Structure 1
């Protein structure tokens, strides 16, 4: 979808949920997006004529009706962005310029932003592993239980801990870890022929309607 479409949907979500942050709105649009077309087939990459991947369509086609009631969101606060900038080794001057803040600290610097997708950048070894830390926020009105389901292709192993999370009520939060290991068989697959592999992590509400899905993508670093 083009930027004007996405911006318009974001505006509608903000009107419905005035207390949501920009990150929460983005998360709602991404985690409820559709990866199938209107004939229930895979979204096609028009340049190749074959089924696209998250490297082509991102999180998928936005579904506004689902995004307005996502169940859970991956929220991000100001300090989270600062921690990420610190992890990227931005200078104090650069961080002040970006944030407009004169006082801040980098005590919790990290390269792991609470973003609703996951990417593993591969190197020249056969297997690489990455552990992601994420936090989910319940934006539904009720107490709920969610169970993690990973759809991973051959060569990708993904484990979620904990695999079941209980939320006490609206705006309650819970953290989890996703550990992903990739084996691309570099000995038989040249980097130039490996454009990435992908799977999905979905949180399903037990006895409920919500499904919160994020893409997991692997690709060689440029």
Structure 2
């Protein structure tokens, strides 16, 4: 695992600055996800699949009532309390906005590439954060197309901090499936 440089570099090699009054060095929130390569999007290797029910349970985890969610979704909704944490919405990015000491997030990926693929985890660690991915290898075959993994974060700092950035990339040598990571520590005892 290696440390991630939070500054973004332009195509000319110079540091990219935020537009606005501060002109601070840019970070991933300023830059965004970049352009989509349609050819690569048609053959991604792994996907982070998500359902409407996942979003409903995400809203439940944010303490919205079943009645208010039902009004939005126009369906009968039942919140399963304690089953879903807000950090576990199966998105292809990981954000931990209030890391006190430790947190673990879960993700699920579906193999849509080679039937027998083995992906290894490559992590760019956010500064001041220890990161552990379990398992470190995902092995797919004709019977196993969907696998879960966890990413655990441990703060080495005991004070409020700015967001720190890194990434998790799953690769089988052909595909490189990158998951951006943003973590902000908050004061803890």
When normalised by structure 2's length, the TM-score is 0.78
In structure 2, the partner of 1:76 is 50
Q: Higher RCO, 1 or 2 (CA under 8 Å, sep at least 6)?
A: 2
The C-alpha deviation readout for 1:34-74, integer Å capped at 9, x for no partner, is x76545x4872342666522222233443333222211011
2:177 to 212, 217, 221: 212
Residues 200 and 213 in structure 1, CA contact (< 8 A), matched pair in contact too: yes
Contact conserved, 1:195 with 1:220, CA < 8 A, in 2?
yes
Structure 1 runs not aligned, ≥5 long: 1-34
CA–CA separation in structure 2 for the residues paired with 1:109 and 1:72? 23
Residue in 2 that maps onto 1:44: 16
**What is the RMSD computed on CA atoms of the aligned residues?**
2.7
CA pair 145-103 structure 1, distance change in 2 beyond 3 A = same
8 Å Cα contact 2:127/2:165 also seen in 1 = no
- Are 1:203 and 1:212, in contact at CA under 8 Å, matched by a contact in 2? yes
1:56 corresponds in structure 2 to 30
Q: How many residues matched?
A: 175
- Conserved? CA contact 1:158–1:179, under 8 Å: yes
Question: 2:4 corresponds to which residue?
Answer: none
Distance (whole Å) between structure 2 residues aligned to residue 82 and residue 162 of structure 1: 28
Q: 1:67 to 1:50 in 2, by over 3 A?
A: farther
Note the 1:110-125 alignment, pairs <5 A.
Answer: 110-111=85-86, 112-122=88-98
Asked if 1 retains the 8 angstrom alpha-carbon contact of 2:157 and 2:185, the reply is: no
CA contact (8 A) 1:122 1:128 kept: no
Compute the displacement of 1:100 (Å): 1.4
CA positional deviation for 1:220: 5.6
Residue matched to 1:196: 163
Judged with a 3 Å threshold, the aligned counterparts in structure 2 of structure 1 residues 145 and 43 are, in CA distance, closer, same or farther, namely: farther
User: Are 2:62 and 1:97 aligned?
Assistant: no
Residue 113 of structure 2: SS of its match in structure 1?
Answer: coil
Runs (5+) with no aligned partner, structure 2: 1-7
